[in-house]
A and B are shown apart, each in its own frame.
Chain A
Amino acid sequence: MAKRLSVLSGTVLIAVLVQTGVGRTQTISYADAATLLAKECGADVKKFCKGLNLGNGRIQNCLAQHQAKVSPACTSTMADVIASIQLRLAAQASVDKICARDAARACRGVVPGKAHILGCLLKATRIVGAKCSQAITDAGWR
């Protein structure tokens, strides 16, 4: 159920981004996601979720339980923030695969290790393709 919910919110977020003319899926940093959450839900958290920690879905569950009274902006922001965190995580997990061919071409002889390969890919802008480049951006590693 929770998984279906986050997939659904992901679709909503993508739709919103397309509608606003961004034209493709974009991810935001965890810091920006957390800032959005604090801005739109901070007052509701303080009102309805006193004493609860952010971790382990507690704030999310608490706000869902009080959904009738929570501001609509908070409810939709919560869904967007969860979706964007998942999108960024998925982007981070996909970089190795998407960039494998570019890394093999551009980074021969580079010391193995994610950070070294990433450093190489970031420098080899003439060789690295658009998909790999986009994946690195979406992962937040530029």
Chain B
Amino acid sequence: MSIRRFRNTLALTVLLAAAGNAGAQQLSEHQLVNTLGQVAEAASAIDVAMLVQEVASNPGKGIAGLPHWSQLATLPQFFVEINFENNSVAIEPGSYRTLGLIADALHHPLLLRYKFLVVGHTNATGDAKHNLKLSARRAEAIAEALSTTFSVAPNRLFAIGAGSEMPVDAANPKAADNRRVQLLNIGLVK
């Protein structure tokens, strides 16, 4: 089950990477809404502060198997590529559209009652602690852009960094594919 969902998220990443294509746009927003709208029963157990604590106490050792991080695998989620200026929180204009697509999905009535976790991931170039800090600042920059420029209620967004601790391509930790942003539905807004 979790493998199938993971495959779905990969397909979606490919779709969004081709987002210059206006024809694919509607499909992508609907897919985002449908993917994130699957009700998450495990979501109530997600403790954002514990996720931050776990990743901070284990730099360079990986996080997928840690108790709180392993819970994330069961949640409705997808990965997208959002490009930043080198060593900066500045989102490249080429990625504005992807942010807009996410905003469109988060404004949809099906998702209005839910809160979301934005997780930043880097590849393994550079120091693990630095990567962790940069990925957290980038996730915060995305949440800030969504909540201010695109008017998503700030109490629906939580941002954390995973650094280079959870590579999608574990055999090639320095691969560019490992640089990505994960968006997860973490349950109802209280």
| Residue interface bits B107-125, CB-to-A below 8 A is 1, else 0 | 1111011000000000000
Q: A46 to nearest B CB, angstroms? A: 7
Q: Does A53 contact B (CB under 8 A)?
A: yes
| Contact assessment for B145 and A53 in the assembled complex, using a CB-CB cutoff below 8 Å | yes
Q: A31-B25, A56-B144 are in contact. Are A51 and B85 (CB under 8 A)?
A: yes
The answer to whether A37 and B109 touch (CB under 8 A), given A30-B101, A53-B145, A54-B149, is no
Residues on B with beta carbons closer than 8 Å to the beta carbon of A35 = 96-97, 100
Within 8 A of B (CB), among A17-35: 29-35
Chain A residues within an 8 Å CB radius of B150: 30, 34, 85
Expressed in whole angstroms, the Cα–Cα distance for A44 and B125 within the complex equals 29
Give the residue of A37, A38, A46, A55 whose beta carbon is less than 8 angstroms from that of B144: A55
Q: How many residues of B are in contact with the other chain, CB < 8 A?
A: 32
Q: With both chains docked as a complex, state the minimum distance between the C-beta of B40 and any C-beta of chain A, in angstroms.
A: 16
Q: Which of B71-119 contact A (CB under 8 A)?
A: 85, 88-91, 93-94, 96-97, 99-101, 103-104, 107-110, 112-113
Smallest beta-carbon distance B31→chain A, Å:
13
Q: Are B85 and A50 in contact (CB under 8 A)?
A: yes
CB distance B104 to A115 under 8 Å?
A: no
Some 14 contacts from A to B, beta carbons below 8 A apart, are A29-B100, A30-B150, A31-B100, A31-B104, A34-B103, A34-B150, A37-B93, A38-B93, A41-B93, A52-B90, A53-B145, A140-B104, A140-B107, A141-B109
